Amino acid sequence: MASTGIALILIFALVLACSGFQMSMSGSSEKGMSRRDMFKSVTAASAAAVLSSGAPANALFGFGENKSKEQLAVEALAGYRAPVADVIRQLKARELRGGRDDSAVVTNYAKKYFEPLQADMAQLAKGLKLAEEDQKKAETQPLLMKGHLLELAQACAAGDAKEQLEEMEEVQETLDDFLKLAATKYTVPEMLLGRAATSVEYYSIFGCEFWGLKNKPDSNVCEPKGP
């Protein structure tokens, strides 16, 4: 009974957040709403549901009460695949073309996501406690990642989009390798292994495509699709 009430509260909170998104879209087609705005809106609504229900967050969102800190860290690390894939997509589509301004976008991604990714990977690698050979490989991946990020920074400084793409693909491969090693002992979200996830799979309700919209060029703001 309590769980049903909790679910209803969360659904109501999500509907409120989504309504806010739709109102924003209809009220100002120029401004739109970015994924970050959607994330904040849904997160705030969900937090309100947690507080009003008095239930622990894991009861609301299905987080296992007995998950180890290593398991939680593996799941968090897997989440970095979304921004990595996003930059690769933009570089391949030539939405990011190098030069000063577009290279600054890649640099900002690196500082916000990829440098923390490397630090989190290094911290996690120490405590994975995998089979001896796998553990050695896992502890090597953060060092490889650091090298790729240094080369990415050089490519950004040079404004070279081709080199940026090559280094981003190395970043992606190194993260995938680390997660595959971690998967020998821990649970990694399945869609983050193997094939590249679609934009809808990566961003779910936080992505424009989920709502039948599209991204504005060179932006994370949503706009209606053309006829």
Query: DSSP states of 86-150 as a string?
Result: HHHHHHHTTSS--HHHHHHHHHHHIIIIIHHHHHHHHHHHHT----HHHHHHHHHHHHHHHHHHH
Q: At what angle do helices 132-158 and 99-109 cross, to 10 degrees?
A: 150
What is the average pLDDT score of the chain? Answer: 78
Q: Which residues of the chain have pLDDT under 50?
A: 1-4, 6, 16-17, 21-32, 43, 46-47, 49-51, 53-64, 192-195
Furthest C-alpha separation in the chain? 60
Domains and CATH numbers, the chain: 68-196 (1.20.120)
Q: Give the Cα separation of 54 and 50 in Å (integer).
A: 6
Question: For the segment 148-186, what is each residue's pLDDT rounded down to a tens digit?
Answer: 999 999 999 999 999 999 999 999 999 999 999 999 999
- Give the three-state DSSP class for 80: coil
